[in-house]
Structure 1
Amino acid sequence: MTTVGFIGLGSMGLPMARNLLNRGFAVRGFDVKAGSLTALEQAGGTSAADAADAARGAGVLVLMVVNAAQADAVLFDAGAAAALSPGGVVILMATCPPGTVAALAAKVEAAGRRFLDAPVSGGVVGAVAGSLTIMAAGAPATYAAARPVLEAMGQRLFHVGEQPGQGAAVKTVNQLLCGVHIAVTAEAFALAAKAGVDPAVLLEIMGGSSAASWMLKDRGPRMLEAEPHVTSAVDIFVKDLGIVLEAGREAKAALPLAAAAHQMFLATSGRGEGAMDDSQVIRSYHAVNGTHPGGTRPGGAA
């Protein structure tokens, strides 16, 4: 039985670790939250005392951490890379800047371990269902070695290139589209509210027209709720669209729509609403337009 070290047992990482357990892998995980470690043990995994303990003797180490800086700290400051079996594979599945991922891969490989750049798409729902899309980049032999682990967590697997950072680049493009789609949905609803149109009616019409998108159908209904359940937070897109803009600067690519969307997510976070569901970027549109949810203007006028 292959032992998989897993670091980062959050809202996505924990169900991903559970899916590994369900596929017969032994999972030893670490997270700074004690509750996550307890949940892993209840699922049949083993909790680790620290990051190095999670990696010790494992053939594969999955990192589902917040960002590249945290990945670097876990691997080198906390000693996880050195604890991993020689020749073991580090799979970085967080959303990180492409250039930073490439630099991190070089450090891992210099330490005698292999590296796979494998960000995911599909959110909490995909993590729970084991249906994530995984965009992997790395040497073909490394991808082949890691594939059984990836198959336990995702349904759509793509080997997008042989150089670490290429997976991150694909994920960056994905997040550009997702962030802009959410923001433009909010912008459309705000225009409808300014005109006094019931946004629920607008959603029904647009959802079945050529203007429909996956984000409209998924986030649109939550934009009509005052306090929707959080599946992906506003601050996630503050971070991810920041990565998009950083990638654009590195490539000298103009990304005006991404920049505008980033400002609206940033404004929402700046009001103290960064932990809310990302659909609530609509609050920034209501704030700048003087509208309220439900298609009414302040004072009750339609």
Structure 2
Amino acid sequence: MTADNSNSDASPAMKAAVIGLGSMGFGMARSLLRAGFSVAGVDVSADAVARFVASGGRAATTPADAAEGAGTVIAVVVNAAQTEAVLFGENGCAATMQPGSVFVSSATMAPDVARRLAARLEAMGPHYLDAPMSGGAARAEEGKLTMLASGSAAAFEAARPALAAMTATLYELGDEPGQGAAFKMVNQLLAGVHIAAASEAMAFAARQNLDLQKVYDVITASAGNSWMFENRMPHVLAGDYSPKSSVSIFTKDLGIVLDMARSANFPVPLASSALQMFLMTAAAGMAGDDDSSVARVYAQLARLKLPGDVV
């Protein structure tokens, strides 16, 4: 039986709201509960909310309801449009957040959008912390995420207890929102390119009729290894493409990278090529599958059989 940490008498500093209880948000919310926070959670999925309540959290019906009385509001949604909606849309949390409270934005978005949302919210009194994250669902559950954060000293101060509960590594990257977002896009450029390259390499190995498990063993002990090869290619070896991180994440994030590069008149040919591979994978019906599915597109083009393929 999980203790109920939804104490309405907790001070605002120890009250938090988590908007978005997907694989990342659910783990972050549970980390806050373990740290002694009173946590309200809201999600479009009734099952996710019920699972959160069973963990000791409080169910909220809207972002506005979740944020009322909370010192820290964490938005763990997909993109900038969803972030704007939970802030300023119908029943948005900006309407109930108190001056001095802090909104922690963890969605990946373009830096200029983060700056615009921050300016709009801070004009109303609350703080805005631009805090995209890295680490995956397992680290979210363990409270060991890496956060790439930027914002005012007051925003950091207000968010610090909650950040301590959710992160193993916190990078304080500047005093203006948008800088955290820019760092995250550098990471996403590399992550997308590395996944596409790893998928290409594994399909290339299959074309050479190599034992793919041995290829994995050799490469992970060699200079050509990458974190993405080591993390994603076991999905290919298992023939299991249930999404840990979906193809659609990288069609979005690499699209942002290309938009930023075009605005800066800066060439990103490797990111552009990787984006095309993710777009091809999505067009082949795999947008919701694991991002290692790029290897399946290579296999289809070359008429190769990967583990788990039906003859």
TM-score (normalizing by structure 2): 0.92
Correspondences of 1:40-79 after superposition (within 5 Å)? 40-77=52-89, 78-79=91-92
Stretches of structure 2 lacking an aligned partner (at least 5 in a row): 1-9
Q: Does the residue aligned with 1:224 lie in a helix, a strand or coil? A: helix
Task: Name 1:205's counterpart in structure 2.
Answer: 218
RMSD: 1.6
In the alignment, which of 101, 104, 107 is matched to residue 94 of structure 1?
Answer: 107
In the alignment, which of 129, 153, 157 is matched to residue 144 of structure 1?
Answer: 157
In the alignment, which of 213, 217, 231 is matched to residue 244 of structure 2?
Answer: 231
Q: Deviations over 1:156-204 (max 9, x none)?
A: 1010111101000011111111111111011111211222222222111
TM-score (normalizing by structure 1): 0.94
More displaced stretch, 218-227 vs 177-186: 218-227
Aligned length: 297
TM-aligned CA deviation for residue 229 of structure 1: 3.9
Q: Deviations over 1:211-256 (max 9, x none)?
A: 1111111111212222244211111111111122122222222111
Q: Deviations over 1:5-39 (max 9, x none)?
A: 11011111011101000000110111111111111
Q: Does the residue aligned with 1:167 lie in a helix, a strand or coil? A: helix
Q: Which amino acid aligns with 2:18?
A: F
Taking the aligned partners of 1:235 and 1:266, their CA distance within structure 2 comes to 8
Taking the aligned partners of 2:217 and 2:17, their CA distance within structure 1 comes to 45
1:280 aligns with 2:289: no
Q: Deviations over 1:39-77 (max 9, x none)?
A: 111111111111110111211111001111111111111
Correspondences of 1:1-302 after superposition (within 5 Å)? 1=10, 2-77=14-89, 78-293=91-306
Q: Does the residue aligned with 2:129 lie in a helix, a strand or coil? A: strand
Taking the aligned partners of 1:285 and 1:196, their CA distance within structure 2 comes to 15
TM-aligned CA deviation for residue 290 of structure 1: 2.7
Stretches of structure 1 lacking an aligned partner (at least 5 in a row): none
TM-aligned CA deviation for residue 120 of structure 1: 0.2
Q: Does the residue aligned with 1:161 lie in a helix, a strand or coil? A: coil
- 8 Å contact 2:65–2:93 — kept in the other structure? yes
Taking the aligned partners of 1:229 and 1:270, their CA distance within structure 2 comes to 17
Taking the aligned partners of 1:134 and 1:172, their CA distance within structure 2 comes to 13
| Structure 1 residue runs of 4 or more that deviate by more than 4 Å after TM superposition | none
